[in-house]
Structure 1
Amino acid sequence: MTEFIPPGSRFVDLPSPFPMKRGGELHGARMAYETWGELDAAGDNAILILTGLSPDAHAASSPADPTPGWWEAMLGPGKPIDTDRWHVICVNTLGSCKGSTGPASPLPDGSGPYRLEFPPLSVEDCADAAAHVVRALGIGQLACVIGNSMGGMVALAFLQRHPGLARHHVNISGAARALPFSIAIRSLQREAIRLDPSWNGGRYDDATYPESGMRMARKLGVITYRSALEWDGRFGRVRLESDRAGEDPFGLEFEVESYLEAHARRFVRRFDPNCYLYLSRAMDWFDIGDYCAGRCGDSHTDTLAALASIPLGKALVIGVQTDILFPLQQQEEIAAGLAQGGTDARFLPLESPQGHDAFLVDFARFGPAVGGFLDTLRTPRTAGARIDA
C-alpha cells in the first residue's frame, strides 16, 4: 500500500533502535512534521499540535504546500492560533501512513512494507516520538501542547512521560482512557476491515485493497463523529431523487445514506487499512490511570491521580455536549485531575450540535475558546517543580 505524504512535510529521524512500549523496536524510523511562524530568540513561543487518527501534519497552508490544511481556519496569521506570535509544529502520528513510519512504510531492509510486522503500537509510543521531534528541533520547552481527539490522548501521555516539556495544555475532545462504548465502536470498525477477504491478513496492495471493509469502518466512524441532532437537522428523512437511486432494492434511498457513501469513498483510498487498525487499537489500550503508582483503588481515582501528577501551569479542556464518542464527562475528568494536581485548569463544555467532529467545523465556537486561552499565556523565564503561568 502507498504512503500519502503531504508535499510540505519535513522529517526527523527517530533514534535507532526506537523501543516500543509493548515490545519490539523500530529501526530507521522517522516522523513527519510541518511548521508555521518563527521561533523567537528565547525559543519559548513554540506550540505543538497532536492530531486525531486520520489527519496528517498539514494543519494549514504554507509556502511549501499552499493547499488548505485540515485546521486552516484555526491556524495562521491573525487566526486563533496566531502564527505571527507562535511558532507552531504539527506532527503526523507514529503509525500513520502520512509520512511518519507505520505499517505502510518500507521495512529497513527494503523487502516491502511492514504490514503486520510493525510492532504493537501504543499511544505512549506516539507521545515519545512526538517528544523526540520537539527536542530534535532544539526546543527545550513548549509554550503549549494542543491535542485533538486521539491527539488529546497522545498529549496526556506526552505530558506524563516528559514532564516539563510543555508549560501549558489545550485538550480538545480528548480522553484519559478509552471507555467501553468507544472500544466497542472501534472494535466493529476493525472487524469490518479484517473480515473483508481482500484484507488477506494484512497482505494487500493497491490492486487488492479491502475497500468494502474500509468503507464500512469509515461510515461507522462518521456516524459517531457527528450527533443525532445534526443528522436530523441536516438530512431529516429526505429521500434521493428517483434518478439518483440505484437499481438495488436495498440500496441507497435516503440523502443521509448517500452522504455517508460519498464520505467513505473519499477516504478509503487515502488511508492504509493496517495503519487504521494499529492506531484504532492503540486508543483502546490507552489508560493514563495505569501510571498511578501502586494503584489507587478504582479506575476513576487512578485516572485523577495520574493526571494530578502532571506538572502544568494552565490547561483548557474543551468538550462538546453532543459528543457520543468522547463524551463530555471524559473532558470534565481531565480538567478535574489536572486541577487536583495544582494546574490552573478550566473545563469548557460547548453546545455545538456537531458532535465529536465539532473542532473541525465549528470554528465560531472553537476559535474564540482556543485563541482566548492562548492570549492569556505569558512566557515564564524560569522553571520549577511546578510550572507557573
Structure 2
Amino acid sequence: MTEFIPANARFVDLPSPFPMKRGGALHGARMAYDTWGTLNAARDNAVLVLTGLSPDAHAAANEANPEPGWWEAMVGPGKPIDSERWFVVCVNALGSCKGSTGPASIDPATGRPYRLDFPELSIEDGADAAAVVVRALGIERLACVIGNSMGGMAALALLQRHPGIARSLVDISGAARALPFSIAIRSLQREAIRLDPKWNGGDYDDDAYPESGMRMARKLGVITYRSALEWDGRFGRVRLEDEREDDDPFGFEFQVESYLEGHARRFVRRFDPNSYLYLSRSMDWFDLGEGHDGDVHAGLAAIRVERALAIGVQTDILFPLQQQEEIAEGLRAGGANAAFLPLPSPQGHDAFLVDIERFGPAVSGFLNAMRAPGR
C-alpha cells in the first residue's frame, strides 16, 4: 500500500530510536509538517495545529502548495488562525499514511512496509513526535496548541508530557479519555476492515485492497461525524430515481445511502487500512487518568497552561459535550483560565470543518485576546 504525501511536504526526522509508550521503538522515522506565516524574532508567535484521524499536514493553501487544505477557511492571512500574526504549524499524525511514519511506511530493518510489525501506537506517541517537530523548528514555547477531535486528545497529551510547551490551548471536540460509545463504534469499524478477506492479516497491496471493509468502516464513521438533525435536514426520506438494479432487491433506495457510498468510495483508496486500525485504537486507549488512579479530573488538573478554551457541539454524539466541559473544569482546577463553549451547530462532530461561521469567531476571539507576540 502506498503513502499519500501532499506536494512539497516538509519533514522532521525523529530521534533514532524513537521509543513508543507501549513498547518497541521506531528507527529512521519522520514527521510531515506544513507551515504558514513567519516565526518572529522572539519565537513566541507559534501556533501548533494537531489533526483528527485522517487529515494530512496541509491544512490550507500556501506558497509551497497552493492546493486548498482540509481547514482552508480557518488558516491563512486574515482568517481566524491568522498567518499574518501567527506562525502556524500543522503536523501529520504519527502512524498516518500521509507523510509521517506509519504502518504503510518502509521498515528500514526489512526494506518492506511495516504493516502489523509497526509498534503499538498511542496518542502519547503522537504527542511526543509533535514535540520533536516544535523543537526542531526552534520553538521553545508555543503561543497556542489547537487540537481537533483526535488532535484534541493529542494536545492534552502534549501538555501533560511536555510541561511548559504551550501557553494556551484550544481543544475542539476533543476528549480526555474515550467513552464506551465511541470505543464501540471504532471497534466495529476495525472489525469491518479485519473481516474483509482482502485485509489478509494486514498483508495487502493496491491490487488486493480491503475495499469493502474500508467502505463499511468509513460509512460508520461518517454516520457518527454528523448528527441525526443534519441527516434529516439534508436528505429526509428522498428516494433515488430508478437506480436500484432488478437483480439487487436490497440495493440503494434512498439518497442518504447513495451519499454514504460516494463518500466512502472517495476515501477508501486514499487511506491505508492498517493506519486506520492503529490510529483508531490509539484513541480507544487514551485516558488522561492514567497515573492518577484513573481520575481524569486529576490528570487534567495536573496540566499547567495559562488559558484554555474547550469547544464542543451540542449535536456531537462521538465526542459529546460533557467531554469538553470536563476538559475546561479539570484545567480550571489546575489554575488555568479555562472556558467551555458549547455551540448549537446542527452538523455534529464534523462541525469544526464546515461550520466556520460559528467556529471561526470562537477561535479568532480566543487568539486575539492573547497578549501581542514579540517581534
Q: TM-score range by the shorter chain?
A: over 0.9
Q: State the one-letter code of the partner of 1:356.
A: H
Structure 2 Cα separation of the partners of residues 241 and 369 of structure 1: 42
Q: Conserved in 2, the CA contact under 8 Å of 1:106 and 1:112? A: yes
1:343 and 2:336 matched: yes
Cα distance, 1:88–1:380 mapped onto 2, change above 3 Å: closer
Which of 330, 355, 358 aligns to 2:351? It is 358
1:44 and 2:37 matched: no
Give the structure 2 partner of residue 246 of structure 1: 245
Q: State the one-letter code of the partner of 2:48.
A: L
> How far does residue 349 in structure 1 lie from its aligned partner after superposition?
0.1
Q: Conserved in 1, the CA contact under 8 Å of 2:300 and 2:334? A: yes
> How far does residue 142 in structure 1 lie from its aligned partner after superposition?
0.2
Q: Conserved in 2, the CA contact under 8 Å of 1:37 and 1:83? A: yes
Q: Conserved in 1, the CA contact under 8 Å of 2:45 and 2:373? A: no
Residues 129-208 of structure 1: pairs in structure 2 closer than 5 A? 129-208=129-208
Q: State the one-letter code of the partner of 1:229.
A: L
Structure 2 Cα separation of the partners of residues 78 and 111 of structure 1: 45
Structure 2 Cα separation of the partners of residues 120 and 184 of structure 1: 20
Give the structure 2 partner of residue 104 of structure 1: 104
Q: State the one-letter code of the partner of 1:238.
A: V
Give the structure 2 partner of residue 232 of structure 1: 232
> How far does residue 45 in structure 1 lie from its aligned partner after superposition?
0.1
> How far does residue 286 in structure 1 lie from its aligned partner after superposition?
0.3
1:12 and 2:5 matched: no
Give the structure 1 partner of residue 307 of structure 2: 314
Structure 2 Cα separation of the partners of residues 102 and 340 of structure 1: 36
Specify every segment of 5 or more residues in structure 2 that has no aligned partner in the other structure, as ranges.
none
Residues 221-300 of structure 1: pairs in structure 2 closer than 5 A? 221-242=221-242, 244-247=243-246, 248-292=248-292, 295=293, 299=294
Deviations 1:57-83 (A, max 9, x none): 000001111110000000100000000
Give the structure 2 partner of residue 113 of structure 1: 113
Q: State the one-letter code of the partner of 2:52.
A: G
Q: State the one-letter code of the partner of 1:76.
A: G
Give the structure 2 partner of residue 324 of structure 1: 317
Structure 2 Cα separation of the partners of residues 241 and 372 of structure 1: 46
Q: State the one-letter code of the partner of 2:338.
A: A
> How far does residue 276 in structure 1 lie from its aligned partner after superposition?
0.1
TM-score scaled by length of structure 1: 0.95
Structure 1 Cα separation of the partners of residues 306 and 291 of structure 2: 21
Report the RMSD for the aligned CA atoms in angstroms: 0.9
Residues 86-97 of structure 1: pairs in structure 2 closer than 5 A? 86-97=86-97
Deviations 1:186-241 (A, max 9, x none): 00000000000000000000000000000000000000000000000100000001
Give the structure 1 partner of residue 26 of structure 2: 26
Give the structure 2 partner of residue 35 of structure 1: 35
Q: State the one-letter code of the partner of 1:246.
A: E
Deviations 1:34-71 (A, max 9, x none): 00000011000000000000000000001111110000
Cα distance, 1:20–1:50 mapped onto 2, change above 3 Å: same
Q: State the one-letter code of the partner of 2:244.
A: A
Q: State the one-letter code of the partner of 2:296.
A: T
How many residue pairs align between the two structures?
A: 373
Structure 1 Cα separation of the partners of residues 151 and 28 of structure 2: 24
> How far does residue 380 in structure 1 lie from its aligned partner after superposition?
7.9
Q: Conserved in 1, the CA contact under 8 Å of 2:309 and 2:340? A: yes
Q: Conserved in 2, the CA contact under 8 Å of 1:289 and 1:305? A: yes
> How far does residue 361 in structure 1 lie from its aligned partner after superposition?
0.3
Secondary structure in structure 1 of the residue aligned to 2:33: strand
Deviations 1:70-104 (A, max 9, x none): 00000100000000000000000000000000000
Structure 2 Cα separation of the partners of residues 291 and 10 of structure 1: 35
Give the structure 2 partner of residue 386 of structure 1: none
Q: Conserved in 2, the CA contact under 8 Å of 1:143 and 1:379? A: no
Q: State the one-letter code of the partner of 2:104.
A: A
Structure 2 Cα separation of the partners of residues 379 and 30 of structure 1: 33
Q: Conserved in 2, the CA contact under 8 Å of 1:148 and 1:172? A: yes
> How far does residue 277 in structure 1 lie from its aligned partner after superposition?
0.1
Secondary structure in structure 2 of the residue aligned to 1:316: strand
Q: State the one-letter code of the partner of 2:210.
A: P
Structure 1 Cα separation of the partners of residues 218 and 204 of structure 2: 18
Deviations 1:259-279 (A, max 9, x none): 000000000000000000000
1:377 and 2:370 matched: yes
Secondary structure in structure 2 of the residue aligned to 1:357: helix
Q: Conserved in 1, the CA contact under 8 Å of 2:160 and 2:303? A: yes
Structure 2 Cα separation of the partners of residues 159 and 308 of structure 1: 11
Q: Conserved in 2, the CA contact under 8 Å of 1:8 and 1:58? A: no
Specify every segment of 5 or more residues in structure 1 that has no aligned partner in the other structure, as ranges.
382-389
Secondary structure in structure 2 of the residue aligned to 1:32: strand
> How far does residue 246 in structure 1 lie from its aligned partner after superposition?
3.2
Structure 2 Cα separation of the partners of residues 374 and 345 of structure 1: 13
